[in-house]
Amino acid sequence: MTIILGQIPEIQRQAAAARLPGIQPVTGMDWITTDDSYADQIALKQTLCAERPTDVLRQLPEADDAAAELLVEVLKLLKQRAGFDVTGTKIICPDGRHVDTSGAPLQVLSQLLQEDLVIHQPMGDVHGMTAALLCFPASWTLAQKIGKPLTAIHDPVPEYDATLAKRVQRLFDGIQVGRPLWRANLLRYDDPALYQPRTEGNPRPVGTAQSLYERSERQTLFRLPQSRAVVFAIHTVVALA
């Protein structure tokens, strides 16, 4: 399934042009984005979760409490969000689907949000990935990243050198509850597919100025109040260049 949005939001395009890591505060508390591709992206997520469950969802035992807390925090936001009707353990979504929220947290979230969700928790002096719902990977795989610290997660990103790694770790250490942050990227792609897993040894061909598509991620970071885990949320948009 090819899902093309009309255009990359201008505020996201501007954020992508900022110097790395390009972090800025989220306006208000709401880090969730719902756009015109909501129904199509959720449908694709459900297909991927059914057909490739271990490729798109991984959770280590130490992330159980954080995943449950993340679902609670999302439901709080959705109660205030236009298009969602939250009643007890039932939600009516913007596309008319009825979702039961009593299931496994990340599986429930895959039915509610366009965002991919990555949970990071301390591993010694650094943070590492302990759980993730990753239906729209941009040239990486959960199999290679789960359980690893931030430095290994970003291998082999050329820009992620020792200096940037220290800045990112300080950022993770300093994220405050109730004060989410966000950044964005923007790259040219020849393939518009949202699901593009690639191993570290098989990176994607680099897009050029002539590539037909733009792919942008709105990446949000926020801290869960009880577990203190950091959640990295990724809302992906593909548009014609």
pLDDT tens-digit profile of 51-91? 999 999 999 999 999 999 999 999 999 999 999 999 999 99
Model pLDDT, residue 79? 94
Model pLDDT, residue 159? 55
Model pLDDT, residue 187? 93
DSSP string for 155-208: TT-TT--HHHHHHHHHHHHHPPTT--EEEEEEEEES---S-B---TTSPPPPP-
Pairing of strands 90-92, 98-100: antiparallel
pLDDT tens-digit profile of 101-128? 999 999 999 999 999 999 999 988 889 9
191 within 8 A of 215, measured Cβ to Cβ? no
Cα–Cα distances (Å) from 66 to 57, 110, 128, 180, 228, in that order, read 15, 16, 13, 16, 8
Model pLDDT, residue 6? 85
135 within 8 A of 195, measured Cβ to Cβ? yes
Model pLDDT, residue 206? 73
Model pLDDT, residue 165? 66
Model pLDDT, residue 227? 97
pTM of the entire predicted model? 0.92
Model pLDDT, residue 160? 52
Mean pLDDT by 10 residues, the chain (241 residues): 89 90 84 94 98 97 98 96 94 97 97 98 90 95 91 60 71 90 94 92 80 95 96 96 91
First to last CA, the chain: 19
> Could you tell me which residues are beta bridge partners of residue 5?
239
